[in-house]
Structure 1
């Protein structure tokens, strides 16, 4: 992977939001769609084909470019629940971008002479787009370009034509015997929310759209929480960004109990074959870059991987910013590391918000990134409490003194008695069984479905058993209920008894099986509140109090432990 500068500016090009790329850079969009289609059609035996590069993440569990793994270990290279999660995916995206770029260069040269300069210029500027799924309601629904089976392009004859949409699905050509197992060994193209687990199953795109629309405000609030309260890089990565990342996997792929069958995006060992995987992770990388912009002195800190080892990292290994990121070669004998990929320009790209060369000082750059985070990813409650009303009534009165009480759920669990992949779904129930249930959000811990751990060893040695952590915002749901006149205010005396009677949660394994609370002795759920000040300047971040108040009585005797 080598950095590439544009011929026109001498600067690294910009990775753009996918809708911005399609609307405002149509020539780049055209070569992107043609180049991605070419990339997907490459011979699957080629080590730099779409098939083999996406296969790095999980299956088929084979060495890539002689980056050998632990003998006998069946796993992918990808680290999850691991402090290298963000940096490893940064290197992965750079490799994918490099190979896609080559295809885009080739297709740009196939246009007739009178168009060739136009499209080679567009190809020179191209970098992979991201899908910003964290904008909440203001970001709108799923882009139409993801859900239509065909795409309209300017073809190599200079005329408009219709081709198979490479953002809609990837076609295996062919399915390779032994590479996949179970139903995945017979499904010929990637699917989302499939209507069966048979070879001829089809995607139910409307379920993808509905699930995303239902969760998009929660995605925004989870990202907002991470920027607001995470004290270090490891916490931001593992307890915030990886959490919401897993929920986006779910929204795209689907799995029980909401759908009887899984789509490719849900099980990690198959998820990278889904065409939206890279757009999703490109946004994760961008949020990582924004964090770096305002926290330049904080980065990957040494930490054990505990039971979350990979194809090349043994369980309980301590990793740090100098640990090699296999299988991404830097030279013929060495691999990239987290320290080596710390600066995205080294890899040949930046984001619209991270063009640091545009600023006269580090402080000015940091202030600009802070303003972007504030304007894009403040809690959804900010707009409702300061700039506008809401359905059912005006909520600005709750912010009379420039601050409000923010409510959230802190959840922790031990892997000893949890499935390797699980989802904890929080909701508010009605007084009667016939009353509608209000979904709050979910905590998702996503690992390869065939990942195993030595639970007996972990039980004997608690240092081998990390506490998994997550945070779910409650305030947006409470504001809905205030607007609907089900709740009077965000005050403690009102909210505590309300949540005590209505807050509930269910835990599901990765296959959708409901797990009884009695089997989850390590699960701890705690509701906390804290004061938050809303600056009048939208460019300034919301100010969270350092003091939080726990409300143990809300979750007492509801299953699992109550953290004291």
Structure 2
């Protein structure tokens, strides 16, 4: 197989003396970099313009993740009903995406080298230099919980080789090549198969994406993102637990990187491509999102260097693997070749970022020993997700709490307000644990939680003022088509934070403190949940298979140093908080 595509990542920029590698930068900073951003936009446009019959086209690289369900680089699939090679619900979920991102980055980097040479002589040396260091950016949605401005406009002004110009914005959408030999979507019964471009929160009336809806839903979940991402690092030291919704098909601790990532998918997508795993990678924001997931994995690895993949069953399977396959660190991450076609990358061989020649700003892994690097990463995590400067404590007059003012007592807060309350350093951490069948309904859906009555209008629930947070079911658009004889049995699990909402109520004088004695009576009377489909229709909660909702709290010893994390007592489960409610359950 000498024709195989060897995935090596972007090769430029390594300092052979110090070992330094180029950073993948935070998108918020990257958009201000001038020449680097110019090259990134032009290279991405060129990728998207490449004929879809080319295996290195945007279309075919995106199609590795799901549909069009065809072999890539000579790696044939064995499961005819499962779209895509992507690992979901498996402990290799985080590691599979590492060579996938490296492939995308490699192709984009190579195009940037050629584009840089087209600039005029006076600026060409600058563009050639920054092209050499170019890496893809990431969107840190836990620090910036709104859809980035740069992905919301259809055109963008950059400096091109011909001068300053407005160009099509390749971060806004991807336009399918309807006349390309490589296009096999049309009339295949695939979700959005007749759409000319990718969409986000598609509005059937206007026949356009509603970018503001995606941004509003992300902002409405800012508190739970900040808390649950922080606790990935502070309260999860086992890789299997950290990695996916159901490691080895067994329920474990519910907070995991896959469920958080799936929530972002669903909120960004709405009724759109990002909502469904089989077509999600065609939306350009997918790559910004998954670069951040890889960044979170990399930081977790620094803090837990001796804990990694153990052999586990992949209950669900992929296009390449049949359900029930036992995966380990040595299992192939198909279809990504590490050489000329005889070997594929594995989780063991992609364990270090240096393999693909990049780093993240929080992880300058050269010039520090393991202890120094871990301390540096803890500092960065605290700065981003548990800021050291708290707002001044003020005496708040106690107010009576009744059904009529629940929406006032526990109304949503801005990201800045959440940071000022230091919710991740509160004396108690409160969580909602959600367990359901992995394929709990015939398609993906969202489960919204509230303190107080939810709005009657389903369209208002995702951003309601009394929303606690939203849990997503990130599954295919048509479960029956994927599994004609029924899906494999097994559950998925996740957590939402309650702490930020309760801390807001305490700051306004409606709660004395965050102890169970103060909080549980409020949850008994006020905690509610409703389900909805991506098209805006209500879903009967009773129709969700295997649903079990629990509330837990854990006493917290706050961090005393910016280089330390809080410590937690064992979780105490409060069955009375959900008893008598559809899907409510205690937890032993």
Fold-level similarity (TM above 0.5): yes
- The aligned residue for residue 257 of structure 1 is none
Tell me the CA shift for residue 415 of structure 1: 3.7
Tell me the CA shift for residue 140 of structure 1: 6.3
Tell me the CA shift for residue 446 of structure 1: 1.2
- The aligned residue for residue 26 of structure 1 is 34
Distance 1:80 1:8 in 2: 32
- The aligned residue for residue 259 of structure 1 is none
SS in 2 for 1:68: coil
The equivalences for 1:63-462 within 5 A come to 63-70=71-78, 72-135=80-143, 139=144, 141-157=146-162, 159-174=163-178, 176-178=183-185, 181=189, 184-196=192-204, 201-238=207-244, 239-254=255-270, 262-306=271-315, 308-331=316-339, 332-359=341-368, 361-378=369-386, 386-388=390-392, 404-415=427-438, 418-419=441-442, 421-430=444-453, 438-451=466-479
Give yes or no for contact 1:408–1:475 (8 Å, CA) kept in 2: yes
- The aligned residue for residue 258 of structure 1 is none
SS in 2 for 1:368: helix
Distance 1:5 1:88 in 2: 20
Quickly say closer, same or farther: Cα 1:88–1:512, change in 2 above 3 A: farther
Distance 2:111 2:356 in 1: 18
RMSD: 3.0
Superimposed CA distance per residue, residues 463-487 of structure 1 (whole angstroms, 9 cap, x where no aligned partner) = x743422121101011222233333
SS in 2 for 1:443: strand
- The aligned residue for residue 476 of structure 1 is 500
SS in 1 for 2:354: helix
Give yes or no for contact 1:398–1:489 (8 Å, CA) kept in 2: no
Tell me the CA shift for residue 229 of structure 1: 2.0
Give yes or no for contact 1:524–1:563 (8 Å, CA) kept in 2: no
Distance 1:512 1:397 in 2: 34
Tell me the CA shift for residue 341 of structure 1: 0.6
Distance 1:457 1:263 in 2: 25
- Aligned positions, number: 536
Superimposed CA distance per residue, residues 24-71 of structure 1 (whole angstroms, 9 cap, x where no aligned partner) = x32111111111111111111111001110111111111111110016
- The aligned residue for residue 4 of structure 2 is none
**1:496 and 2:520 aligned:** yes
Distance 1:110 1:417 in 2: 53
Distance 1:491 1:245 in 2: 30
Structure 2: tracts of 5 or more residues without a match: 1-6, 245-254, 398-416
Tell me the CA shift for residue 19 of structure 1: 1.7
Distance 2:536 2:454 in 1: 26
Structure 1: tracts of 5 or more residues without a match: 255-261, 459-463
The equivalences for 1:542-561 within 5 A come to 542-545=566-569, 547-560=570-583, 561=585
Tell me the CA shift for residue 403 of structure 1: 5.8
Give yes or no for contact 1:194–1:203 (8 Å, CA) kept in 2: yes
Tell me the CA shift for residue 252 of structure 1: 1.5
SS in 2 for 1:345: helix
SS in 1 for 2:256: helix
Distance 2:156 2:420 in 1: 48
- TM-score, with structure 1 as normaliser: 0.88
Quickly say closer, same or farther: Cα 1:151–1:521, change in 2 above 3 A: closer
Quickly say closer, same or farther: Cα 1:438–1:161, change in 2 above 3 A: same
The equivalences for 1:15-54 within 5 A come to 15-23=24-32, 25-54=33-62
Tell me the CA shift for residue 178 of structure 1: 3.9
Give yes or no for contact 1:449–1:510 (8 Å, CA) kept in 2: no
SS in 1 for 2:141: coil
Give yes or no for contact 1:76–1:310 (8 Å, CA) kept in 2: yes
Give yes or no for contact 2:48–2:170 (8 Å, CA) kept in 1: yes
Give yes or no for contact 2:269–2:275 (8 Å, CA) kept in 1: yes
1:532 to 556, 560, 577: 556
Tell me the CA shift for residue 290 of structure 1: 0.3
SS in 1 for 2:478: coil
- The aligned residue for residue 402 of structure 2 is none
SS in 1 for 2:301: helix
Superimposed CA distance per residue, residues 503-524 of structure 1 (whole angstroms, 9 cap, x where no aligned partner) = 1122345666544344446322
Quickly say closer, same or farther: Cα 1:334–1:521, change in 2 above 3 A: closer
Tell me the CA shift for residue 390 of structure 1: 9.2
Give yes or no for contact 2:201–2:214 (8 Å, CA) kept in 1: yes
Distance 1:398 1:277 in 2: 31
Quickly say closer, same or farther: Cα 1:153–1:20, change in 2 above 3 A: same
Distance 1:517 1:4 in 2: 47
Quickly say closer, same or farther: Cα 1:41–1:390, change in 2 above 3 A: farther
